[in-house]
Structure 1
Amino acid sequence: MQLYYAPNTISVAVAIALEEAGLEYEAIRLDFAEGEQTKPAYRQINPKGRVPALVVDGGILTETGALLDYIAAKAPGAGLVPDDPVMAARMREVMYYLASTMHVNHAHKMRGHRWANKKPSWKDMTDKVPQTMTASCEYIVANGLRGPFVLGEAFSLADAYLYVVCSWLEGDGVDVSAFAKILTFRAAMEARPSVQAVRAAGML
């Protein structure tokens, strides 16, 4: 497998899951500062011009949640998805919230051009990021973290996803000291060999 990623982006969640699953992969770094993700060579891999993209035997897969589910299916013994269907749904509930709301809140800081044409509108979106990301943290603490991990004591796909999103909080103007559960979660994740491996590789 080949994983196309950029450091400190949500694509790193896929690398964490690959490490947790014990699957071999080649990490291919894209330079966002040079706009490499928008150039024709990468557009042939992912026409959306975003990361992650995962090259597998059956073709090319995109979208973080889909890649995480693929990894779990490829390595069922890793236990990345709980057997209980309710718990599996709770895991995905958090993942879909991250994709649809919290990641979008974060993107308003520097991707305002996706939603508005006028630069004053971009500034307004950027200025609101600390508020919306703080509100997302409040939601996650109240509804998304049932223990040191999303599902309690057991690691799941949602933890890889949430960890990367939570690595952005200080940069988004969130007072993380107000969220003890998130600090505990980040510490638990940072103790895992998977996170240590991607950090050592310069992904985080």
Structure 2
Amino acid sequence: MQLYYAPRTISIAVAIALEESGLEYEAIPLDFAKGEQTKPAYKQINPKGRVPALVVDGGILTETGALLEYVATKAPDTGLVPDDLVMAARMREVMFYLASTMHVNHAHKLRGTRWADKKSSWKDMRDKVAQTMTASCEYICSNGLRGPFVLGEAFSLADAYLYVVCSWLEGDGVDVPAFPKIVAFREAMEARRSVQTVRAAGML
């Protein structure tokens, strides 16, 4: 497998899951500062010009949640998705919230052109990010984290996803110490070999 990623983006959630799974993969970085994600060579891999993209035997996969699910299915013995149906649904509940709401809140800081043409609108979006990301942190603490990890004591795909999103909080103007559950969650994640490995590789 080949994972196309950019450092400190949501694509690193897939790298963490791959490390947790023990599956072999090649990590291929893209330099967003140079616009490599918009070049024709990468557009042939992912026409959306975004990361992550995962090249597998059956073709090319995109979208973080889909890639995480693929990794878990490829390595079923690692328990990245719980066997209990309700717990698995709770895991996905958090993942879908991250994809549909919290990541979008964050994207308003630098990606205002996706939603509006006027520069004045972009500034308004940027100014709102600290508020919306703080509200998302409140939701995660009250409804997302059920212990050290999303599902309590057990690690799951949602933790890889949430950890990367939580790595953006300071830059988004969130008062992180005001959320001790998130602080404890990040500490628990940083103690995992998977996170240490991707950090040592310069992905985080």
Q: Which bracket does the TM-score occupy, shorter chain normalised?
A: over 0.9
Q: Secondary structure at the match of 1:98?
A: helix
Cα distance between partner residues in 1 of 2:7 and 2:127: 24
Instruction: Specify the alignment match of 2:20 in structure 1.
Output: 20
The Cα of 1:116 is off from its aligned counterpart by 0.1
TM-score computed with the length of structure 2 as normaliser: 1.00
| TM-score, normalised via structure 1 length | 1.00
**2:137 matched to which residue of 1?**
137
Match of 2:85 in 1: 85
What is the 5 A alignment of 1:169-188? Answer: 169-188=169-188
Equivalent-residue separation in structure 1 for 2:95 and 2:199 (angstroms): 22
Counterpart for residue 119 of structure 1: 119
1:109 matched to 2:109? The reply is: yes
- Secondary structure, aligned partner of 1:188: helix
SS in 1 for 2:138: helix
**Cα separation, 2, equivalents of 1:39 and 1:125:** 27
User: Equivalent residue for 2:190?
Assistant: 190
- Cα-to-partner distance string for 1:8-45 (whole Å, 9 max, x where unaligned): 00000000000000010000000000010011000000
CA deviation digits over 1:45-97, x for unaligned, max 9?
00000000000000000000000000000000100000000000000000000
Matched with 2:72 is 72
CA RMSD in angstroms comes to 0.2
- Rounded to whole Å, the distance in 2 between the matches of 1:56 and 1:196 is 25
- Is residue 2:160 matched to residue 1:160? yes
Query: Which position in structure 1 is the counterpart of 2:94?
Result: 94
The offset of 1:170, in angstroms, is 0.1
Structure 2: any 5+ residue segments left out of the alignment? none
SS of residue in 2 equivalent to 1:83: coil
The 2-side partners of 1:130 and 1:93 are apart by 23
Give the match's secondary structure for 1:61.
strand
- 1:118-145, CA deviations, whole angstroms, 9 ceiling, x for partnerless residues? 0000000000000000000000000000
The CA deviation at 1:162 is: 0.0
Alpha-carbon separation, structure 2, partners of 1:5 and 1:107 = 17
Unaligned 5+ segments in structure 1 are none
Supply the distance in 2 between the matched residues of 1:178 and 1:38 (Cα, whole angstroms). Answer: 38
Tell me the SS of whatever aligns to 1:146: coil
State how many pairs are aligned. Answer: 204
SS of 1:60's equivalent in the other structure is strand
AA partner of residue 23 (structure 1): L
Question: Residue 107 of structure 1: CA displacement?
Answer: 0.1
CA distance, structure 1, for counterparts of residue 52 and residue 119 of structure 2: 28
Flag as ranges the 4+ runs of structure 1 deviating above 2 A. Answer: none
Match of 2:53 in 1: 53
